Amino acid sequence: MDYRIMGHTGLQLSVVSYGSWVTFHKQVDDRLADELMGIAYDSGINFFDNAEVYALGESEKLMGRVLKRKNWERSSYIVSSKAYFGWRGKHNKPNQTGLSRKHLVEACQEALQRLQVDYLDLYFCHRPDTTVPIEEVVWTMNHLIQQGKILYWGTSQWSGAEIMEAHRVAQQYKLIGPAMEQPQYNMFERFKMEQDYLPVFQNAGMGTTI
């Protein structure tokens, strides 16, 4: 399980979330995933995290099957996905990775299908993409929000400067900026959270999913 702390989005998430990286599909099958997600939900854990690249899409498919069977009230839990790496591994074509409008839109639709939900509560840009103008990324995420496909968008492993640039673009064009970042934060990886992100926390506000 992943420990998560959220803020500045208006969402109410538990401090502990259920993550699927490494385990789902590779180590955890449908039966065990159903049991563990049920225990988590009954214990008050309401945040289920995933990504297109986890087990090359199979992790989202597994989680989607469990969510479909559980039939929990959709408003009672949060589900997230991330886009950047694609789900085809070494078979990805150039337009099937990165943060281009084409990939973000198509990856979002694919995540919705695999997770069997109508919308994603949180949608992350899994890494920064220096080949795509930040204006294109912010406009695309704003468009997905307007379409009702995602509720909040965020970043993962971005620098403080990159996040502030996204907020600058959002403010300039009156768009919705990133609401959360998913960084590493532990005894060995402290710089971003404790130093690099300080201007973001002070000037823009940001939730984190550690």
Position 210 in a domain: no
Position 22 in a domain: yes
Catalytic residue positions, numbered = 54
Q: What confidence score (pLDDT) does residue 1 get?
A: 46
Q: What is the pTM of this model?
A: 0.90
Q: What confidence score (pLDDT) does residue 12 get?
A: 66
Alpha carbon distance 103, 92 (integer Å): 11
Q: Which residues, including other chains, have CB under 8 Å from residue 97's CB and lie 6 or more apart?
A: 84, 85, 86, 103
State the residue range of the domain holding 139: 2-205
Q: How many domains does the chain have?
A: 1
Position 94 in a domain: yes
Position 7 in a domain: yes
High-pLDDT (> 70) share of the chain, %: 90
* pLDDT tens digits for range 6-21: 555 666 666 678 877 6
**pLDDT over threshold 50, residue 153:** yes
Q: What is the CATH number of the domain that holds 70?
A: 3.20.20.100
* pLDDT tens digits for range 43-98: 999 999 999 999 899 999 999 999 999 999 999 999 999 999 999 989 999 899 99
Burial class (CB within 10 angstroms; exposed 0-12, middle 13-18, buried 19+) of 132: middle
